[in-house]
């Protein structure tokens, strides 16, 4: 307890409790049927589950809040003796921020873009009667010191857009701990952060929970991270907690089958299963001295890279290392580069518009975000049929037949042909995006973080599908990822990119087991840090 | 710190023959489009009903007039009576017949001006968003210069030169919509162009026209229909304002009725109130529709 400015209330030892919580939609559907939960002070409880399992709904219920369209049908949320459900308006407002705080998923949208950092935090303090300017600054400075942010006047005068994603996340976390709350609910606080920043944020959360004796509810779909960073794990499915266990006990005998399934779906970083290099005949893709720029700023610096036919190469690096820009150069979506992109020794034009249909067919691209890569105004069938008609020039009837076959290939029911993308889950959308690329009968598939926006069990299915396709169709693949755990299960060769330069490349097993470059070692160590327990 | 044998014991994901994970349903789930949301919105129906009622009056009315709307049937500003249900106007013409007869031309001008303005504005907006940056910046400067001129003043200026006829009125009102619509559509198109599905279409070799027709237009249709409903109401207001200021095509027309009969407001209010109410119902209807579309689009994302 190293906090001289605020005395800890005596109620600190009492756990937060949820009893018989039932949340339904206004139209009568059930989100959470009946839920009991106790969170002790100073402990970190992880909540895992797939999209739609009710984990965010539970987190928000702890704040006494239901999203529009949801109602609390019964049950109590007890913070000491106050039932948050019976409080309203002013009563809730006094509790929120001071005694219960929330870190929303996307720090970029959680911070008011028109407010300087010091004003945003000052407003929170002022709302809870810390009005003295010097006291506010002292408090902000203390917190920022703990989260590893500078707290000089210049930094505090910045606007959110002048901070990096990791800094924004730290500001959001500091804001949550500003008034020394008893309960902190964090919704996916590490999603979108690269490995190094993620490890820092987790260590910070851990430290703050211990030091401030706060109960932390950490919501995430990243089960691997939760296993490493929490004391206790709840696994939710359809609004029900199916598993509640100390995280050191997992996996354990007699665990719920769903837990088993989720754990089984985690990619295993130690399994070097890809030994075959495929049929690496012919030349395939060759990049020669690619220096890509964004508005004049150099993003990649003279990259040379070869992907032989039938070979799968992983391109690894942190966010901002230039992997996506490089991939977009290959596909012709990014044209501001010097150097050449060659296929079978032939130089391809820079822009996708200048490339011949044949060249477009050869290289197909699968995008990171399946929510943005399918036209929301076209059914799945239309999207696939249109792809067949434009790139292969087949007639309407053939295209329709092709669309059906493409669905079969990605393991989806043909009833999806008539569905709009909005009726599909993220994993299903990604399968459709894959099917669309396959319709072109490509020789090289460029996969840009294709699993990073998907739930872990869905991820496994997509990876499995990609590996099957690679084997059955002899596809070459450039697999871009920041997730080292995936690399070992898919790629024979790994290329590590740092700030636009290739710092290391070689067979995947060698790169992962005996990294040469300090940057690779750092990536691996951060990766390990989110897998094994934080030091206490 | 306890033992973490996780990496050793965790079974590795295996082939797709394994029972797949339950969160991926094997059939599509239900989904409501923005259009379906508008259709389900009761306020949209009220709005549509208002617009339709006024349209029926305007286009069906001329067929059922009891008196010649342009003929003198009694003393000026005679009050309502069983024979003349809404009384007579400043020139002693039947107000009820005028309301029935005065809408067809008015609404035709309003609707055509809206279609013209929103149509051309949409094309311009897409062009602005798709053009190379230098070109679009130059075009945008011209567009914004026109944008800052008050619509009604521009209209008055042109009409003073050309004279007010149904054609000039429609053209002038239509053209003043173009810069505003282009601005809105440009922003919407830019958002669509940045989406990966547009890049995917390019990667499949879809041409420029295919891109506009299949990728861009369907995805800005909501914004365009929202813009059209706003522009419809503005067209009606501008046209009524111009009529009120004396720039109306000759003949019987709602805007002109308000202008001509305002002197008798104290004696025979119906001569002014009747066209005002009809116009009001039309505008409220158009605005309710607009709100319903806006709500559907907002909750659609």
Domain span at A122: 41-64+94-263
Question: Same domain for A301 and A448?
Answer: yes
Whether chain A has a CB inside 8 Å of the CB on B82: the answer is no
A362 touches chain B (CB under 8 A): no
Interface of A with B in 395-424 (CB under 8 A): 411, 413, 415-416, 418-420, 422-424
Average pLDDT over residues A203-209: 82
Say which residue, A365 or A369, is predicted with more confidence. A365
pLDDT at A115 over 70: yes
Q: Which pLDDT score, from 0 to 100, does residue A8 have? A: 44
Q: Same domain, yes or no, for A486 and A355?
A: yes
- Interval A132-153 mean pLDDT: 83
Instruction: Give the domain-ending residue among A233, A263, A293.
Output: A263
- Pick the closest to residue B36 from B217, B297, B301 (CA basis): B297
Specify if A415 maps to a domain: no
Residues 6+ apart with CB under 8 A from A483: A267, A451, A452
What CATH number is attached to the domain comprising A335? Answer: 3.40.50.300
**A52 and chain B in contact, CB less than 8 A:** yes
Q: What pLDDT does A533 receive?
A: 40
Same domain, A369 and A223: no
Q: Give the closest of B14, B197, B205 to A360, CB-based.
A: B205
A436 within some domain: no
Q: What average pLDDT score do residues A142-151 get?
A: 80
C-alpha angle B123/B124/B126, rounded to 5°?
A: 65
ipTM of predicted complex: 0.72
In this prediction, residue A179 has a pLDDT band, given cuts at 50, 70 and 90, of confident
Residues in A closer than 8 angstroms to B2, CB to CB, are: 248, 533
End-to-end Cα distance, chain B: 45
pLDDT (0 to 100) of residue B278? 92
In this complex, the residue of B1, B12, B14 whose CB is nearest that of residue A533 is: B1
Domain limits, chain B: 49-102+252-301, 105-251
Smallest Cβ distance to A373: which of B26, B196, B218?
B196
B228 SS3 class: helix
- Averages of pLDDT over runs of 10 residues in chain B (301 residues) are 37 35 61 79 90 90 79 82 82 86 88 95 92 86 86 84 88 91 92 90 89 91 89 89 79 82 85 90 90 77 44
Asked if A227 and B6 come within 8 Å (Cβ–Cβ), the reply is yes
Domain count, chain A: 2
For residue A510, what pLDDT is reported? 86
Per-residue model confidence as pLDDT tens digits over A299-349 = 888 899 989 888 899 999 877 788 889 999 999 999 999 999 998 888 999
Same domain, A133 and A245: yes
Q: For residue A270, which residues of chain B lie inside 8 Å, CB to CB?
A: 7-8
User: Cβ contacts (< 8 Å) between B218 and chain A: which residues?
Assistant: 375, 377-378
A:60-119 residues touching chain B, CB 8 A cutoff: none
Question: Distance (Å, rounded) from C-alpha B177 to C-alpha A518?
Answer: 61
Q: Is A488 left (phi over 0), alpha (psi -120 to 50) or beta?
A: alpha
Which pLDDT belongs to residue B112?
Answer: 95
- State how far the alpha carbon of A475 is from the alpha carbons of A433, A446, A466, in Å: 16, 10, 9
d(CA A512, CA A506): 10
Q: Is the pLDDT of residue A71 over 60?
A: yes
Let me know whether A199 and A121 are in one domain: yes
Same domain? For A298 and A238 the reply is no
Considering the domain boundaries, does residue A493 fall inside one? Answer: yes
Between these two residues, B12 and A230, which has the higher pLDDT value?
Answer: A230
**Residue A330 forms contact with B (CB below 8 Å):** no
Percent of chain A with pLDDT over 70: 91
Q: Is B221 on the interface with A (CB under 8 A)?
A: yes
The answer to whether residue A454 sits within a structural domain is: yes
Residues of A in contact with B210 (CB under 8 A): 390
3-state secondary structure A38-91: EECCCCEEEEECCCCCCHHHHHHHHCCCCCCCEEEEEEEEEECCEECCCCCHHH
Across chain A, mean pLDDT equals 82
A170 and A242 within one domain: yes
Which among A5-14, A239-248, A496-505, B65-74 has the top mean pLDDT? A496-505
Flag whether pLDDT at A49 surpasses 90: no
CB of A312 within 8 Å of a chain B CB? The answer is no
Q: What is the pLDDT of residue B242?
A: 86
Chain B interface includes A13 (CB < 8 A): no
Of the pLDDT bands very low, low, confident and very high (cuts 50, 70, 90), residue A273 is very low
3-class DSSP assignment, residue A315: strand
Nearest-Cα distance to chain A for B138, in Å, is 20
User: A298 and A355 share a domain?
Assistant: yes
**Is position A77 within any domain?**
no
Q: Answer yes or no: do A163 and A294 share one domain.
A: no
Mean pLDDT of A389-401: 91
Indicate whether A111 and A150 sit together in one domain: yes
CB A177 within 8 A of CB A216: no
Same domain flag for A228 and A362: no
- The answer to whether A299 touches A293, Cβ cutoff 8 Å, is yes
Of A276-285, A465-474, B157-166, B257-266, where does mean pLDDT reach its minimum?
A276-285
Would you call B204 and A378 a contact, using CB atoms and an 8 Å cutoff? no
For position B8, what pLDDT does the model report?
35
* Domain final position from A263, A294, A318: A263
Q: Is residue A163 part of a domain?
A: yes
**Least confident residue range of A121-130, A280-289, B155-164:** A280-289
pLDDT at residue A294 tops 90: no
Q: Which of B204, B206, B219 sits opposite A440 (nearest CB)?
A: B204
Residue A296 counted as domain residue = yes
Q: Provide the shortest C-alpha distance from residue A417 to chain B (in Å).
A: 9
Question: Is a pLDDT exceeding 50 seen at residue A60?
Answer: yes
Contact A436 B204 (CB under 8 A): yes
> In this structure, are A301 and A199 located in the same domain?
no
Q: What integer is the mean pLDDT of A121-139?
A: 83
CATH code reported for the domain at B105-251: 1.10.3720.10
Mean pLDDT of A36-40: 86
Chain A residues touching residue B10 (CB < 8 angstroms): 251, 263-264, 266, 268
Residue A297 has pLDDT above 60, yes or no: yes
Question: Which of A272-286, A494-508, B169-183 has the least mean pLDDT?
Answer: A272-286
Selection from A229-238, A270-279, A327-336 with the highest mean pLDDT = A327-336
Residue pair A462/A486 in contact (Cβ under 8 Å)? The answer is no
The pLDDT, as a whole number, for residue A364 is: 94
Residue A279 lies in a domain: no
* B6 touches A at CB < 8 Å: yes
| The pLDDT value given to residue A7 | 42
Q: Is A217 helix (H, G, I), strand (E, B) or coil?
A: strand
Q: Which of A443, A472, A462 is nearest to A364 (CA)?
A: A443
pLDDT classification of A280: cutoffs 50, 70, 90: very low
What pLDDT sits at residue A13? Answer: 61
* Per-residue pLDDT at A12 exceeds 60: no
């Amino acid at each position: 307890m190293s906090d001289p400015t605020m005395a800890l209330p005596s109620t600190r030892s009492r756990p937060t409790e949820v009893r018989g919580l039932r949340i339904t939609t206004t139209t009568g559907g059930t989100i959470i049927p009946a839920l009991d939960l106790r969170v002790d002070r100073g402990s970190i409880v992880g909540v895992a589950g797939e999209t739609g399992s009710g984990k965010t709904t539970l987190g928000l219920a702890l704040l006494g809040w239901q999203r529009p369209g949801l109602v609390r049908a019964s049950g109590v949320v007890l913070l000491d003796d106050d039932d948050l459900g019976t409080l309203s308006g002013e009563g809730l407002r006094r509790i929120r921020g001071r005694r219960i705080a929330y870190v929303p998923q996307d720090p970029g949208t959680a911070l008011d873009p028109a407010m300087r950092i010091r004003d945003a935090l000052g407003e929170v303090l002022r709302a809870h009667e810390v009005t003295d300017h010097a006291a506010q600054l002292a408090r902000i400075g203390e917190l920022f010191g703990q989260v590893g942010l500078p707290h000089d006047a210049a930094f505090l005068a910045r606007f959110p857009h002048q901070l990096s994603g990791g800094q924004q996340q730290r500001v959001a976390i500091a804001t949550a701990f500003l008034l020394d709350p008893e309960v902190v609910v964090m919704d996916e606080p590490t999603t979108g952060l690269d490995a190094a920043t993620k490890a820092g944020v987790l260590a910070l959360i851990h430290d703050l929970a211990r030091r401030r004796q706060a109960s932390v509810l950490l919501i995430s779909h990243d089960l691997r991270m939760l296993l490493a960073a929490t004391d206790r794990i709840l696994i939710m499915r359809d609004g029900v907690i199916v598993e509640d266990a100390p995280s050191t006990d997992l996996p354990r005998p007699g665990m719920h089958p769903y837990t088993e399934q989720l754990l089984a779906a985690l990619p295993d970083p130690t399994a070097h299963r890809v030994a075959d290099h495929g049929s690496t005949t012919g030349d395939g893709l060759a990049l020669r001295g690619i220096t890509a720029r964004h508005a004049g700023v150099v993003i990649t610096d003279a990259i040379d890279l070869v992907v032989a036919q039938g070979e799968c190469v992983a391109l690894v690096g942190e966010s901002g290392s230039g992997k996506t820009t490089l991939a977009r150069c290959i596909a012709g979506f990014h044209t501001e580069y010097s150097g050449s992109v060659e296929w079978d020794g032939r130089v391809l034009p820079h822009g996708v518009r200048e490339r011949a249909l044949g060249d477009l067919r050869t290289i197909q691209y699968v995008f990171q975000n399946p929510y943005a890569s399918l036209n929301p105004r076209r059914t799945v069938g239309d999207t696939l049929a249109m792809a067949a008609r434009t790139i292969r020039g087949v007639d309407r009837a053939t295209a329709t037949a092709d669309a059906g076959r493409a669905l079969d290939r990605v393991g989806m029911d043909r009833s999806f042909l008539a569905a709009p993308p909005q009726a599909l889950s993220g994993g299903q959308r990604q399968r459709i995006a894959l099917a669309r690329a396959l319709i072109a009968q490509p020789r090289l598939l460029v996969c840009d973080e294709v699993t990073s926006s998907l739930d872990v069990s869905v991820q496994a299915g997509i990876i499995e599908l990609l590996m099957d396709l690679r084997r059955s169709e002899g596809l070459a693949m450039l697999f871009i990822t920041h997730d080292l755990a995936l690399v070992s299960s898919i790629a024979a060769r790994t290329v590590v990119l740092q700030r636009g330069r290739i710092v290391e490349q070689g067979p995947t097993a060698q790169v992962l087991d005996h990294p040469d470059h300090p940057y690779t070692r750092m990536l691996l160590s951060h990766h390990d840090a989110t897998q094994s327990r934080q030091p206490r | 710190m306890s033992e973490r044998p996780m990496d050793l014991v965790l079974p590795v994901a295996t082939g797709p023959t394994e029972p797949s994970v339950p969160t991926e349903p094997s059939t599509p789930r239900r989904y409501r489009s923005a259009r379906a949301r508008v259709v389900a919105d009761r306020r949209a129906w009220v709005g549509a009903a208002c617009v339709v009622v006024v349209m029926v009056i305007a286009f069906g009315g001329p067929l059922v007039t009891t008196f010649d709307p342009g003929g003198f049937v009694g003393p000026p500003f005679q009050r309502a009576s069983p024979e003349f249900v809404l009384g007579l106007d400043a020139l002693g013409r039947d107000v009820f017949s005028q309301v029935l007869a005065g809408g067809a031309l008015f609404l035709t001008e309003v609707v055509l001006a809206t279609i013209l303005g929103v149509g051309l504005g949409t094309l311009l907006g897409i062009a602005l968003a798709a053009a190379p940056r230098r070109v679009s910046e130059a075009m945008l400067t011209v567009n914004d210069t026109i944008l800052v001129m008050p619509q009604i003043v521009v209209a008055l200026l042109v009409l003073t030169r050309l004279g007010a006829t149904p054609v000039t009125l429609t053209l002038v009102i239509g053209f003043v919509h173009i810069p505003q619509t282009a601005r809105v559509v440009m922003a919407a198109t830019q958002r669509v162009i940045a989406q990966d599905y547009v890049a995917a279409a390019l990667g499949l070799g879809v041409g420029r026209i295919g891109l506009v027709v299949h990728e861009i237009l369907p995805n800005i249709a909501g914004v365009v229909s929202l813009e059209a409903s706003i522009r419809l109401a503005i067209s009606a207001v501008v046209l009524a304002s111009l009529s009120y200021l004396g720039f109306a095509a000759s003949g019987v027309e709602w805007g002109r009725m308000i202008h001509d009969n305002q002197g008798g407001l104290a004696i025979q209010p119906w001569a002014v109130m009747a066209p005002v109410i009809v116009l009001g119902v039309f505008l409220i209807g158009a605005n309710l529709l607009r709100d319903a579309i806006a709500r559907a689009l907002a909750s659609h994302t």
